[in-house]
Structure 1
Amino acid sequence: MSELQPPTTITLRAPSKYLSNPSEPPTETPFSAPPLPWLRRTWTVTHSTLSMWRSAQNVRITYKPYKDPSSATNDNLVEYEKSNGKGGVKSVEGIEKPDKSIPAAWNWRGKGLLAIASSHWEVLGWGERPLPTTGDGEGNEAEGGKTERWAVTWFAPTLFTQEGVDIYSDLKEGLSKETADEIIKALKELKDAPKVVELVEKHIQEVAISLPWKQ
């Protein structure tokens, strides 16, 4: 069986909580989960509805296999810096197991002192597309030019945060404006999830990026 090719168009599904049958989202284009090797990398969070990232920069999330590479369980590492550039890198570590009833969804639990914290998140869309020819970012080599990978994730409300949406790029410098604008437009057209549309319309903002990342 050939490996699933990343979508080249931006298509999003609604979060499962808004669907009567989460395993069969009512979209014209059926949702396909991203292959684990494609997802498992370090992503830059370029846009978010979360207020906690307003005072942060260079927010990145790394997904790695937890112990067994063939398992869908991930090791999750979130890293970020203060927006004023002072101090070191803050981090949050967790382990996440796949949700058996929803494709491309995981249930996260923190490590160490954060073991009491848990959350649920889902991939709403993902893909890969050519970078604009005028861009100067270091994209991924592909036939015909360079590409950028993108993903949109939704997270359910917890004791500490309301539900929200993040937009990811596999490039440290973030997404091209064209791709970011198209993703936000698609989020605002999620008719099955009016609460998500409202969140995006009121709260989506760019997350500050100031290269190079601190290590």
Structure 2
Amino acid sequence: MDSNIVIHAPDSDGLDAFDLDAFTGKWHVTHSTLPLWKNKKNVTITYTPIPPTTTTGNPGPPTEPRKFHDLVEYLPKSASSSPDTKPTRIEGIDTVLGPSGARFKWRGKGWLVVASSKWQVIAHGDGWAVTYFEKTLFTPAGLDIYSRDGRGLEDAFVEELVAKVRGVGGGVGRLAEAFFKVELEEGGE
């Protein structure tokens, strides 16, 4: 794991070398401050790019900010983990905000189309990321720690990450005091 962890304050455009294409794909939420994950397990978020289009609808140089599909899947902690158990799905579209490419506006799909939120990657490295979510009408501000590995991250590394997030201070530092482990069952991808 990275030993040179740098956490960026929300709304900063200082995130170095953020590669949105490398960020897309499936992530496992291993730790969070968001209350909605307290009674959930096996939380994953999959980001899939939406090909850019021109004003004519044909492939070409993009005429609007980059977008991608955002699929959240999870099970209630009480759910059976048999392969027949279907996860709950929340779908949305993320639109890139700002020049860093690490800030986004999420808009729900289907009956959640009325819901939106802003979020951003405030730190990332090989196989891990830390995301910050702004407060909405439905949720408080919060932080998630992601892992590419379904088994999660090493405890010592998570402790270092949390300490660095606390070091940002302000509201983010206070949020970091509330990190809890999100249940991941063995054998994750």
Shift of the alpha carbon at 1:212? 4.5
CA distance in 2, matches of 1:98, 1:33: 15
Name 2:185's counterpart in structure 1: 210
8 Å Cα contact 1:33/1:104 also seen in 2: no
What amino acid does structure 2 have at the position aligned with 1:52? Answer: L
Shift of the alpha carbon at 1:211? 3.2
What amino acid does structure 2 have at the position aligned with 1:195? Answer: G
8 Å Cα contact 2:151/2:187 also seen in 1: no
Name 1:61's counterpart in structure 2: 45
2:25 corresponds to 1:41: yes
- Secondary structure at 1:188 match in 2: helix
CA distance in 2, matches of 1:212, 1:67: 32
What amino acid does structure 2 have at the position aligned with 1:14? Answer: A
Q: Which blocks of at least 5 consecutive residues in structure 1 are unaligned?
A: 1-6, 17-21, 26-30, 129-148
Shift of the alpha carbon at 1:49? 0.2
Q: Deviations over 1:18-64 (max 9, x none)?
A: xxxx34x5xxxxx3142122101100000000111111000000001
Shift of the alpha carbon at 1:88? 2.7
Listed as ranges, the matches of 1:11-22 within 5 Å are: 11-16=6-11, 22=12
Poorly superposed stretches of 4+, deviation over 3 Å? 67-71
- Change over 3 Å in CA distance of 1:32–1:120 after alignment to 2: same
Name 2:120's counterpart in structure 1: 122
How many pairs align?
Answer: 174
CA distance in 2, matches of 1:176, 1:68: 37
8 Å Cα contact 2:165/2:173 also seen in 1: yes
Shift of the alpha carbon at 1:102? 5.4
2:10 corresponds to 1:32: no
CA distance in 2, matches of 1:79, 1:211: 17
Using the size of structure 2 for normalisation, the TM-score is: 0.84
8 Å Cα contact 1:57/1:81 also seen in 2: yes
What amino acid does structure 1 have at the position aligned with 2:181? Answer: E
Of 84-93 and 55-64, more deviation after overlay is shown by 84-93
- Output the aligned Cα RMSD: 2.1
Using the size of structure 1 for normalisation, the TM-score is: 0.75
Q: Deviations over 1:188-212 (max 9, x none)?
A: 1003xx11111111x2100001135
2:88 corresponds to 1:93: no
Shift of the alpha carbon at 1:108? 0.6
Q: Which of 172, 178, 183 is the equivalent residue of 1:196?
A: 172
CA distance in 1, matches of 2:25, 2:133: 19
Percent identity over paired residues: 35
Of 87-96 and 116-125, more deviation after overlay is shown by 87-96
Of 55-64 and 171-180, more deviation after overlay is shown by 171-180
Q: Which of 153, 157, 169 is the equivalent residue of 1:179?
A: 157
Name 1:106's counterpart in structure 2: 104
Name 1:10's counterpart in structure 2: 5
Q: Which of 138, 149, 167 is the equivalent residue of 1:160?
A: 138
Q: Which blocks of at least 5 consecutive residues in structure 2 are unaligned?
A: 54-60
